[in-house]
Amino acid sequence: MPLAHPVRSAVPALAGVLLLTAAVTGCGPSGASAKDAPERGYPVTLADDCGRPVRVDRAPRRAVALDQGAAEIMLSLGLADRMVGTATWTDPVLKGLEKENAKVPRLADRYPSFEKVLDAEPDFAAASFAYTLGKGGVAPRERFEQLGVPTYLSPSDCVGKDNSGDGDGVRTRPLTMETVYGEIRDLARVFAVPERGEKLVAGLKARVAKATAAADFTDATVLYWYSDAKSPYMAGCCGAPGIVTNALGAKNVFDDTREEWPQINWETVADRDPDVLVLGDLTRRAQSAESAAKKIEFLESDPVTRNMTAVKHKRYVLLSGQALNPTIRTVEGIEKVAAALRTYGLAK
């Protein structure tokens, strides 16, 4: 996800020492001690989470979700009463989750400092992006784990993806919704609510099936613009927008790049001249042209873009930032793009 990454200062040593002492003595924020009997069904071990095992010895009671995607999965699983913080939001919370979300403190609209997270006394931390649990984000996973706090990273940001470069990563194989469903099941297992996970997955699958029923959009071309007017981030072939495009049988005009969100100049965009423009409608204020309104204002005034087919016919699809990320809201992307393509007469 294209974000302006803030620089973090070092965390005061005292906070780490205090939490490390709690971890060693077995006295945590939930009041549990090392002498407590093991909980039924624990420990839970995930053998390979983005290249490392995750072991959770007790059901999390003070979890933090460090990205909106992870937060919305946990809230959808009915875990608000076991959460003590969320962070890094691009959009208002998913409709239907407002009351549950209001119960959980927001640590920061963007990346909180590691110290701020530690102040919440977490016993589990989940993130949607490798950057969040890496250098420059909140903190590397090792720093949490040294303090006895297990971490979970969404497989959608590491399975079949190379994050070693400076950008938003390169897909070595296309992402699918099965990876998102796997994240739901992993978190449901960690919190010992597997039946809730299966119910959530079933509901999402049913929505995808309904949205794509009898859909034939093989002649439609689409472009996905996430953010920034000066050096715009457009979707490559194989991330969450790729899930949407592939589900509908349409064509992403930049499916010739495996970069997650390459920055592409407007002359090249105009040359590709897609039938429809899918616009990220973000509420954050990190870069230029975050909202869909600002994007449309730019498109209809810039001499390079205003004569594009989609602009002249106002063929826009507005999606939340989360619908353009590999999250449960990617299903919303499939639904809205399918509806728009039908409305614009681009279905066969």
pLDDT digits (tens, 9 = 90+) for 318-336: 999 999 999 999 999 999 9
pLDDT value for 348: 82
Query: What is the pLDDT averaged over residues 255-262?
Result: 96
Query: What is the pLDDT averaged over residues 194-206?
Result: 98
At residue 115 the predicted structure's pLDDT band, cuts being 50, 70 and 90, is very high
Strand partners, 263: 233
pLDDT value for 36: 53
At residue 31 the predicted structure's pLDDT band, cuts being 50, 70 and 90, is very low
At residue 32 the predicted structure's pLDDT band, cuts being 50, 70 and 90, is very low
At residue 37 the predicted structure's pLDDT band, cuts being 50, 70 and 90, is low
For 143-174, how does the pLDDT look when each residue is reduced to its tens digit (9 = 90+)?
999 999 999 999 999 999 999 988 899 999 99
Q: Which of 115, 127, 131 is nearest to 4 (CA)?
A: 131
Q: Which tokens sit at 211? A: 């949205």
Query: What is the pLDDT averaged over residues 34-61?
Result: 87
The CATH code of the domain at 41-206 is 3.40.50.1980
CATH 3.40.50.1980 domain extents, the chain: 41-206, 215-343
Q: Answer left, alpha or beta for residue 289, where phi above 0 means left and psi between -120 and 50 means alpha.
A: left
At residue 14 the predicted structure's pLDDT band, cuts being 50, 70 and 90, is very low
Degrees, nearest 5: CA angle 142-121-130 = 35
For 225-250, how does the pLDDT look when each residue is reduced to its tens digit (9 = 90+)?
999 999 999 999 999 999 999 999 99
Terminal-to-terminal C-alpha distance of the chain: 32
The overall pTM is greater than 0.85: yes
For 104-113, how does the pLDDT look when each residue is reduced to its tens digit (9 = 90+)?
999 999 999 9
pLDDT value for 212: 93
Asked if the 215-343 domain carries CATH number 3.40.50.300, the reply is no
What does the mean pLDDT of the chain come to? 90
CA–CA separation, 323 and 122 (whole Å):
28
For 269-300, how does the pLDDT look when each residue is reduced to its tens digit (9 = 90+)?
999 999 999 999 998 777 778 899 999 999 99
The pLDDT of residue 9 is above 60: no
| Three-state secondary structure of the chain | CCCCCCCCCCCCHHHHHHHHHHHHHCCCCCCCCCCCCCCCCCCEEEEEECCEEEEECCCCCCEEECCHHHHHHHHHCCCHHHEEEEECCCCCCCCCCHHHHHCCCEEECCCCCHHHHHHCCCCEEEECCCCCCCCCCCCCHHHHHHCCCCEEECHHHCCCEECCCCCCCEECCCCCHHHHHHHHHHHHHHCCCHHHHHHHHHHHHHHHHHHHCCCCCCCCEEEEEEECCCCCEECCCCCHHHHHHHHHCCEECCCCCCECCCECCHHHHHHHCCCEEEEECCCCCCCCCCCHHHHHHHHHHCCCCCCCHHHHCCCEEEECCHHHCCCCCHHHHHHHHHHHHHHCCCCC
pLDDT value for 252: 98
Q: Are 210 and 332 in contact (CB under 8 A)?
A: no
CA–CA separation, 4 and 67 (whole Å):
14
The structure tokens 């970069």 sit at 259
Share of the chain above pLDDT 70, in %: 89
Query: What is the pLDDT averaged over residues 122-131?
Result: 97
The structure tokens 């979890």 sit at 63
